[in-house]
Amino acid sequence: MHILFIGYGKTSQRLAKQLFEQGHQITTISRSPKFDPYATHLIQDVQQADFSQIPPVDWVYILLSPDQSTAEAYQQTYVSPIESLAAALNGHPVKRIVVVSSTRVYGEQAGQEINDETTVYPCDEQGFLLQLMELKWQAACPEQVVVVRPTGIYGTSVARMQKLAQSRKTYPDLHYSNRIHIDDLVGFLALLICIETPQLSYIVTDNRPLPLPSIIQWFQQQLGLPILALETQQASGKQVYASRMLDSGFQLNYPDCFQVYADLLSQSA
């Protein structure tokens, strides 16, 4: 198949290489030059997309990422380009468009359990804009779109967690966090090609929600830092579970985040 990547960051790069090795043709669209030798790289403004000069596209992955976390950046990155991109894809024999969103569309923030059957109800403007992106793509290409909602992606660096370990002295004891290793996300995105009739959306997570302070404390122990004190408060965050991902037969390669963190720490030592 000819696979088009719209957005070519860390996840796209790993996925594109894997799919190329499986025999697929790869074209990428990004804002800056890319040089992976197994793909054809085009620089385009997604607000003015033009796919008329590329070979017929069979499959599309949309993995865009804003430069900032502001609502304006979310609007410009996720929502504004949809009309241009959908028009540019019109006329190509596209079987599937995989739109990577986020579990931020679920607004629960009091420790609730979330799964694929949970009603989407954002609690902030960024979450609302992600939901709007999903809805607009589903309206534009209703027979083709599959939405993928990963939790926090990790596995390339421990810099953020080291910074938290060094700076935090106290933390609410029941603030839940959720993760997916970047290579597990890549593996599931690749698996979608093999699913003849996919679900409309999938949560992708390691199904191991953990209180964030327990992770910070682990890092503090490894780094020989003072251990933060826990503040007893009501539960916050959310506990996210991926039922449809498991039903697809997909198996995680990285179910234990602490083993991954240990490996990354040893590599950075």
2-19 pLDDT, tens digit per residue, is 999 999 999 999 999 999
pLDDT at 190 (0 to 100)? 98
Partners of 108 in the β-ladder = none
- The stretch 149-173 carries a mean pLDDT of 93
CA distance 118 to 103: 11
Strands (E), the chain: 2-6, 25-30, 40-43, 59-62, 96-100, 110-114, 145-150, 152-154, 170-172, 175-177, 179-181, 201-204, 210-211, 229-231, 236-240
Mean pLDDT score of the chain = 95
Q: Where are the alpha helices (DSSP H) in 141-211?
A: 159-167, 182-191
Residue 269 has pLDDT above 80, yes or no: no
What would the pLDDT profile of 61-111 be if each residue is shown by its tens digit? Answer: 999 999 999 999 999 999 999 999 999 999 899 999 999 999 999 999 999
CA distance 31 to 39: 15
Please name which of 89, 107, 106 lies closest in space to residue 98, comparing C-alpha atoms: 89
Query: What's the gap between Cα 183 and its chain centre?
Result: 11
- The stretch 205-212 carries a mean pLDDT of 96
The three-state secondary structure class of 230 is strand
Q: Where are the alpha helices (DSSP H) in 177-230?
A: 182-191, 212-223
CA distance 192 to 199: 10
End-to-end CA gap in the chain:
42
DSSP state at residue 9 = S
pLDDT at 171 (0 to 100)? 86
The three-state secondary structure class of 25 is strand
Task: Give 181 or 230, the one with higher predicted confidence.
Answer: 181
Global pTM value = 0.95
Alpha-carbon torsion (227, 262, 102, 116), positive or negative: negative
Number of H helices, E strands in the chain: 9, 15
Count of residues making up the chain: 269
Q: Determine if residue 111 is left, alpha or beta; phi over 0 gives left, psi from -120 to 50 gives alpha, anything else beta.
A: left
Partners of 230 in the β-ladder = 171
Residue 184 has pLDDT above 90, yes or no: yes
| CB contact set of 197 (below 8 Å; sequence gap of 6+) | none
CA distance 142 to 60: 14
Residue 33 has pLDDT above 90, yes or no: no
- The stretch 34-41 carries a mean pLDDT of 93
Partners of 100 in the β-ladder = 148
Q: Which CATH superfamily is domain 2-153+178-207+238-254 in?
A: NAD(P)-binding Rossmann-like Domain (3.40.50.720)
